[in-house]
Amino acid sequence: MKKNLRLGVFVAFLCTFSVVSVADTVNLKNGDRLSGRLVKLGEEKLVIETDYAGEVRVNLEKVISVETDEAVSFRSKSGGLYRAKLDKSSDGKVLAGGKIWALDELQFDPALETMNPASQDTFHGRAEASTENLQNKTRTRYAEIDLNLTWQKQAWRHTVDVKKRNDSEAGEKTEDSQKLEYSVDYFLSPEWFARGNSFYQRDRVTVGSDLHYNGLGLGKKLWKNENASWEVIATYNRLIIGSRPFQIDLNTWLLSTEFKRKFENEKWDVYAKADVLFPQHVPVKLIMQSEAGLRYQLNTQIYLTAKLMLDLIGSSGGNLKSHSYKLGIGTKW
Protein backbone atom coordinates (compact mmCIF):
# COMPACT_ATOMS: atom_id res chain seq x y z
CA MET A 1 0.00 0.00 0.00
CA LYS A 2 2.80 2.39 0.95
CA LYS A 3 4.64 1.40 -2.19
CA ASN A 4 1.59 2.25 -4.34
CA LEU A 5 1.15 5.53 -2.48
CA ARG A 6 4.77 6.50 -3.07
CA LEU A 7 4.41 5.56 -6.74
CA GLY A 8 1.25 7.68 -7.05
CA VAL A 9 2.93 10.68 -5.48
CA PHE A 10 5.95 10.22 -7.75
CA VAL A 11 3.76 10.03 -10.87
CA ALA A 12 1.79 13.09 -9.78
CA PHE A 13 5.07 14.96 -9.25
CA LEU A 14 6.29 14.02 -12.71
CA CYS A 15 3.01 15.13 -14.30
CA THR A 16 3.13 18.43 -12.46
CA PHE A 17 6.76 18.95 -13.46
CA SER A 18 6.04 18.14 -17.09
CA VAL A 19 3.17 20.64 -17.24
CA VAL A 20 5.30 23.39 -15.74
CA SER A 21 8.28 22.58 -17.92
CA VAL A 22 6.37 23.19 -21.15
CA ALA A 23 4.40 26.19 -19.90
CA ASP A 24 4.75 29.76 -21.09
CA THR A 25 5.10 32.30 -18.29
CA VAL A 26 3.77 35.84 -17.87
CA ASN A 27 5.15 37.97 -15.03
CA LEU A 28 2.90 40.81 -13.88
CA LYS A 29 3.83 44.09 -12.22
CA ASN A 30 1.75 43.25 -9.14
CA GLY A 31 3.97 40.24 -8.46
CA ASP A 32 1.61 37.59 -9.85
CA ARG A 33 2.85 34.96 -12.26
CA LEU A 34 0.69 33.20 -14.86
CA SER A 35 1.69 29.87 -16.40
CA GLY A 36 0.04 28.19 -19.36
CA ARG A 37 -0.04 28.49 -23.14
CA LEU A 38 0.37 31.85 -24.86
CA VAL A 39 -2.70 32.30 -27.07
CA LYS A 40 -2.43 35.85 -28.38
CA LEU A 41 -0.26 38.95 -28.11
CA GLY A 42 -1.21 42.25 -29.74
CA GLU A 43 -3.62 45.19 -29.70
CA GLU A 44 -2.21 46.14 -26.28
CA LYS A 45 -3.47 42.87 -24.78
CA LEU A 46 -2.10 39.44 -23.95
CA VAL A 47 -4.11 36.21 -23.70
CA ILE A 48 -2.77 33.13 -21.92
CA GLU A 49 -4.66 29.85 -21.42
CA THR A 50 -4.16 28.37 -17.95
CA ASP A 51 -5.23 25.00 -16.54
CA TYR A 52 -6.74 26.60 -13.45
CA ALA A 53 -8.63 29.62 -14.83
CA GLY A 54 -9.04 29.06 -18.57
CA GLU A 55 -8.15 31.99 -20.82
CA VAL A 56 -6.87 35.04 -18.95
CA ARG A 57 -6.70 38.45 -20.68
CA VAL A 58 -4.16 40.97 -19.44
CA ASN A 59 -3.42 44.56 -20.51
CA LEU A 60 0.18 44.83 -21.72
CA GLU A 61 0.80 47.82 -19.45
CA LYS A 62 0.45 45.42 -16.49
CA VAL A 63 3.03 42.94 -17.84
CA ILE A 64 6.71 42.94 -16.87
CA SER A 65 7.89 40.14 -19.13
CA VAL A 66 6.89 37.05 -21.11
CA GLU A 67 8.79 33.77 -21.43
CA THR A 68 8.10 30.85 -23.77
CA ASP A 69 9.64 27.40 -23.44
CA GLU A 70 9.76 26.95 -27.20
CA ALA A 71 10.31 29.17 -30.24
CA VAL A 72 7.16 30.92 -31.47
CA SER A 73 6.39 32.82 -34.67
CA PHE A 74 5.59 36.50 -34.21
CA ARG A 75 5.15 39.56 -36.40
CA SER A 76 6.71 42.97 -35.78
CA LYS A 77 5.02 46.33 -36.36
CA SER A 78 6.91 46.69 -39.62
CA GLY A 79 5.27 43.49 -40.92
CA GLY A 80 8.34 41.24 -40.69
CA LEU A 81 7.78 37.66 -39.54
CA TYR A 82 10.22 36.06 -37.10
CA ARG A 83 10.57 32.84 -35.13
CA ALA A 84 12.38 32.75 -31.79
CA LYS A 85 12.00 31.89 -28.14
CA LEU A 86 10.81 34.78 -25.96
CA ASP A 87 12.91 35.44 -22.85
CA LYS A 88 12.39 38.02 -20.13
CA SER A 89 14.13 41.36 -20.37
CA SER A 90 13.56 44.76 -18.78
CA ASP A 91 10.13 46.09 -17.83
CA GLY A 92 7.65 45.64 -20.69
CA LYS A 93 10.20 44.07 -23.03
CA VAL A 94 11.35 40.63 -24.19
CA LEU A 95 14.54 39.21 -25.64
CA ALA A 96 13.98 37.30 -28.90
CA GLY A 97 16.50 36.29 -31.53
CA GLY A 98 19.27 38.28 -29.85
CA LYS A 99 17.24 41.50 -29.97
CA ILE A 100 15.22 43.34 -27.34
CA TRP A 101 11.62 44.11 -28.33
CA ALA A 102 8.92 46.13 -26.59
CA LEU A 103 5.84 43.94 -26.07
CA ASP A 104 3.60 46.43 -27.88
CA GLU A 105 5.81 46.04 -31.00
CA LEU A 106 4.92 42.36 -31.37
CA GLN A 107 1.90 40.43 -32.58
CA PHE A 108 1.51 36.72 -31.89
CA ASP A 109 -1.26 34.40 -33.04
CA PRO A 110 -1.23 30.58 -33.32
CA ALA A 111 -2.03 30.96 -37.04
CA LEU A 112 1.48 32.36 -37.52
CA GLU A 113 2.92 28.99 -36.49
CA THR A 114 1.92 27.58 -39.89
CA MET A 115 4.00 30.21 -41.69
CA ASN A 116 7.70 29.93 -42.49
CA PRO A 117 9.44 33.22 -41.56
CA ALA A 118 12.28 32.56 -43.99
CA SER A 119 9.93 32.53 -46.95
CA GLN A 120 7.04 34.69 -45.72
CA ASP A 121 5.89 36.94 -48.54
CA THR A 122 3.06 39.47 -48.30
CA PHE A 123 1.46 41.10 -51.32
CA HIS A 124 -1.63 43.26 -51.59
CA GLY A 125 -3.04 45.69 -54.10
CA ARG A 126 -5.83 48.15 -54.76
CA ALA A 127 -7.43 49.52 -57.93
CA GLU A 128 -9.82 52.49 -58.07
CA ALA A 129 -11.81 54.27 -60.75
CA SER A 130 -13.48 57.63 -60.10
CA THR A 131 -15.36 60.08 -62.29
CA GLU A 132 -17.39 63.25 -62.04
CA ASN A 133 -19.56 65.19 -64.48
CA LEU A 134 -20.47 68.77 -63.57
CA GLN A 135 -23.47 70.22 -65.38
CA ASN A 136 -22.07 73.74 -65.41
CA LYS A 137 -21.55 76.17 -68.26
CA THR A 138 -18.34 74.47 -69.36
CA ARG A 139 -19.58 70.86 -68.82
CA THR A 140 -16.54 69.88 -66.75
CA ARG A 141 -15.64 66.19 -66.63
CA TYR A 142 -13.06 64.36 -64.53
CA ALA A 143 -11.94 60.74 -64.74
CA GLU A 144 -9.13 58.96 -62.91
CA ILE A 145 -7.76 55.43 -62.54
CA ASP A 146 -5.43 54.54 -59.66
CA LEU A 147 -3.47 51.31 -59.14
CA ASN A 148 -1.46 50.66 -55.98
CA LEU A 149 0.68 47.57 -55.29
CA THR A 150 2.68 46.72 -52.16
CA TRP A 151 5.00 43.75 -51.69
CA GLN A 152 6.92 43.04 -48.50
CA LYS A 153 9.42 40.27 -47.81
CA GLN A 154 11.14 40.30 -44.44
CA ALA A 155 12.77 43.74 -43.99
CA TRP A 156 12.15 44.90 -47.60
CA ARG A 157 9.00 46.70 -48.76
CA HIS A 158 8.28 47.69 -52.37
CA THR A 159 5.44 50.05 -53.33
CA VAL A 160 4.23 51.02 -56.81
CA ASP A 161 1.54 53.63 -57.47
CA VAL A 162 0.23 54.41 -60.97
CA LYS A 163 -2.36 57.08 -61.80
CA LYS A 164 -4.03 58.09 -65.05
CA ARG A 165 -6.20 61.23 -65.16
CA ASN A 166 -8.29 62.89 -67.89
CA ASP A 167 -10.10 66.23 -67.50
CA SER A 168 -12.12 68.19 -70.03
CA GLU A 169 -14.16 71.37 -70.25
CA ALA A 170 -16.67 72.16 -72.99
CA GLY A 171 -15.54 69.05 -74.83
CA GLU A 172 -11.91 70.17 -74.89
CA LYS A 173 -9.30 68.14 -73.02
CA THR A 174 -7.59 70.15 -70.27
CA GLU A 175 -5.50 67.39 -68.69
CA ASP A 176 -4.17 64.03 -69.80
CA SER A 177 -1.65 63.10 -67.14
CA GLN A 178 0.16 60.00 -65.97
CA LYS A 179 1.94 59.51 -62.66
CA LEU A 180 4.28 56.69 -61.73
CA GLU A 181 5.80 56.39 -58.28
CA TYR A 182 8.04 53.66 -56.90
CA SER A 183 9.61 53.35 -53.46
CA VAL A 184 11.70 50.68 -51.77
CA ASP A 185 12.07 50.60 -47.99
CA TYR A 186 14.50 48.65 -45.83
CA PHE A 187 13.48 48.39 -42.18
CA LEU A 188 16.39 49.10 -39.85
CA SER A 189 14.13 48.45 -36.84
CA PRO A 190 10.38 47.95 -36.32
CA GLU A 191 9.92 51.75 -36.56
CA TRP A 192 12.79 53.14 -38.65
CA PHE A 193 13.43 52.45 -42.33
CA ALA A 194 15.64 53.73 -45.14
CA ARG A 195 13.89 54.73 -48.38
CA GLY A 196 14.79 55.09 -52.01
CA ASN A 197 12.12 56.70 -54.19
CA SER A 198 11.45 57.65 -57.80
CA PHE A 199 8.58 59.75 -59.17
CA TYR A 200 7.55 60.67 -62.71
CA GLN A 201 4.62 62.81 -63.86
CA ARG A 202 3.70 63.97 -67.34
CA ASP A 203 0.75 65.89 -68.78
CA ARG A 204 0.30 65.49 -72.53
CA VAL A 205 -1.84 68.64 -72.71
CA THR A 206 0.36 71.10 -70.82
CA VAL A 207 3.75 71.56 -72.49
CA GLY A 208 6.77 71.55 -70.19
CA SER A 209 4.87 70.13 -67.21
CA ASP A 210 7.03 67.02 -66.81
CA LEU A 211 8.14 66.40 -63.23
CA HIS A 212 10.71 63.78 -62.26
CA TYR A 213 12.72 63.18 -59.11
CA ASN A 214 14.83 60.47 -57.45
CA GLY A 215 15.97 60.47 -53.85
CA LEU A 216 17.17 58.73 -50.71
CA GLY A 217 16.15 59.28 -47.12
CA LEU A 218 14.81 58.01 -43.84
CA GLY A 219 11.32 57.21 -42.57
CA LYS A 220 9.64 56.39 -39.27
CA LYS A 221 6.45 54.61 -38.31
CA LEU A 222 4.92 56.93 -35.75
CA TRP A 223 1.99 54.63 -35.09
CA LYS A 224 0.92 51.17 -36.22
CA ASN A 225 -1.54 48.51 -35.08
CA GLU A 226 -4.06 46.23 -36.78
CA ASN A 227 -6.47 49.13 -37.44
CA ALA A 228 -4.25 52.15 -38.06
CA SER A 229 -0.87 53.33 -39.26
CA TRP A 230 0.94 56.64 -39.64
CA GLU A 231 4.40 57.17 -41.07
CA VAL A 232 6.58 60.14 -42.05
CA ILE A 233 9.48 60.10 -44.54
CA ALA A 234 12.11 62.72 -45.41
CA THR A 235 14.26 62.27 -48.54
CA TYR A 236 16.80 64.37 -50.43
CA ASN A 237 16.08 64.38 -54.17
CA ARG A 238 17.32 65.45 -57.57
CA LEU A 239 14.35 67.20 -59.20
CA ILE A 240 13.93 67.67 -62.95
CA ILE A 241 11.21 69.99 -64.27
CA GLY A 242 10.30 70.12 -67.97
CA SER A 243 12.01 68.24 -70.77
CA ARG A 244 14.98 68.88 -73.00
CA PRO A 245 16.00 71.39 -74.21
CA PHE A 246 13.87 73.37 -71.69
CA GLN A 247 14.81 71.46 -68.57
CA ILE A 248 15.58 72.63 -65.03
CA ASP A 249 17.61 70.52 -62.58
CA LEU A 250 17.27 71.22 -58.86
CA ASN A 251 18.10 69.74 -55.49
CA THR A 252 15.09 69.46 -53.20
CA TRP A 253 13.88 68.03 -49.94
CA LEU A 254 10.75 65.88 -50.00
CA LEU A 255 8.59 65.40 -46.92
CA SER A 256 5.95 62.65 -47.21
CA THR A 257 3.33 61.42 -44.77
CA GLU A 258 0.55 58.83 -44.92
CA PHE A 259 -2.17 58.02 -42.40
CA LYS A 260 -4.68 55.14 -42.47
CA ARG A 261 -7.42 54.31 -39.97
CA LYS A 262 -9.97 51.50 -40.09
CA PHE A 263 -12.98 51.76 -37.79
CA GLU A 264 -13.90 48.90 -35.49
CA ASN A 265 -16.81 47.66 -37.61
CA GLU A 266 -14.26 47.28 -40.47
CA LYS A 267 -16.66 48.71 -43.08
CA TRP A 268 -15.36 52.28 -42.93
CA ASP A 269 -11.81 53.51 -43.18
CA VAL A 270 -10.20 56.91 -43.72
CA TYR A 271 -6.83 57.88 -45.15
CA ALA A 272 -4.75 60.96 -45.85
CA LYS A 273 -1.42 61.41 -47.59
CA ALA A 274 0.73 64.29 -48.77
CA ASP A 275 4.01 64.89 -50.59
CA VAL A 276 5.68 68.29 -50.19
CA LEU A 277 8.76 69.27 -52.23
CA PHE A 278 11.00 72.11 -51.04
CA PRO A 279 13.17 73.18 -54.04
CA GLN A 280 16.41 74.99 -53.26
CA HIS A 281 17.67 78.30 -54.66
CA VAL A 282 14.59 79.03 -56.83
CA PRO A 283 11.56 81.35 -56.45
CA VAL A 284 9.27 78.32 -56.00
CA LYS A 285 9.20 77.56 -52.27
CA LEU A 286 7.15 74.39 -52.26
CA ILE A 287 5.18 71.98 -54.44
CA MET A 288 2.52 69.97 -52.62
CA GLN A 289 0.26 67.13 -53.76
CA SER A 290 -2.18 65.82 -51.16
CA GLU A 291 -5.20 63.56 -50.94
CA ALA A 292 -7.70 62.56 -48.24
CA GLY A 293 -10.57 60.15 -48.52
CA LEU A 294 -13.19 57.88 -47.02
CA ARG A 295 -13.87 54.28 -48.09
CA TYR A 296 -16.93 52.13 -47.43
CA GLN A 297 -16.50 48.37 -47.80
CA LEU A 298 -19.41 46.73 -49.67
CA ASN A 299 -17.90 43.25 -49.29
CA THR A 300 -14.47 41.71 -48.76
CA GLN A 301 -13.17 43.07 -52.09
CA ILE A 302 -15.36 45.93 -53.39
CA TYR A 303 -15.60 49.38 -51.81
CA LEU A 304 -16.95 52.86 -52.54
CA THR A 305 -14.72 55.88 -52.12
CA ALA A 306 -15.03 59.66 -51.75
CA LYS A 307 -11.89 61.77 -51.79
CA LEU A 308 -10.55 65.31 -51.88
CA MET A 309 -7.35 66.17 -53.76
CA LEU A 310 -5.46 69.40 -53.19
CA ASP A 311 -2.40 70.63 -55.12
CA LEU A 312 -0.43 73.73 -54.17
CA ILE A 313 2.53 75.58 -55.66
CA GLY A 314 3.93 78.24 -53.36
CA SER A 315 6.32 80.96 -54.52
CA SER A 316 7.54 84.37 -53.46
CA GLY A 317 4.94 85.89 -55.79
CA GLY A 318 1.96 84.03 -54.31
CA ASN A 319 0.31 80.62 -54.23
CA LEU A 320 -1.37 78.63 -56.98
CA LYS A 321 -3.96 76.15 -55.69
CA SER A 322 -6.25 73.61 -57.28
CA HIS A 323 -8.58 71.08 -55.72
CA SER A 324 -11.12 68.49 -56.81
CA TYR A 325 -13.61 66.06 -55.29
CA LYS A 326 -14.07 62.51 -56.52
CA LEU A 327 -16.54 59.67 -56.05
CA GLY A 328 -15.51 56.22 -57.18
CA ILE A 329 -15.44 52.48 -56.77
CA GLY A 330 -12.50 50.22 -56.06
CA THR A 331 -11.34 46.71 -55.37
CA LYS A 332 -8.59 45.31 -53.17
CA TRP A 333 -6.81 42.00 -52.85
Asked if 254 and 237 touch (Cβ cutoff 8 Å), the reply is yes
Q: Which of 2-11, 39-48, 89-98, 247-256 is most confident?
A: 247-256
Comparing CA positions, the residue from 247, 326, 321, 249 lying closest to residue 286 is 321
Query: Mean pLDDT, to the nearest integer, of 18-28?
Result: 68
Topology of domain 122-332, CATH: Porin (2.40.160)
Residue 165 CB contacts under 8 Å (≥ 6 apart), including other chains: 142, 143, 144, 145, 175, 176, 177, 178, 179
The pTM of the full predicted model, rounded to 2 decimals, is 0.64
DSSP conformational letter for 62: G
The string of pLDDT tens digits covering residues 116-165 is 444 456 888 999 998 876 655 666 778 889 999 999 888 899 999 999 98
Residue spans of the domains in the chain: they are 2-114, 122-332
The string of pLDDT tens digits covering residues 247-280 is 888 899 999 999 999 886 668 899 999 999 998 8
What's the rounded Cα separation, in Å, for the pair 148 and 129?
12
Query: Mean pLDDT, to the nearest integer, of 10-27?
Result: 54
pLDDT at 31 (0 to 100): 86
What secondary structure, in 3-state letters, does 104-124 show? HHEEECHHHHHCCCCCCCEEE
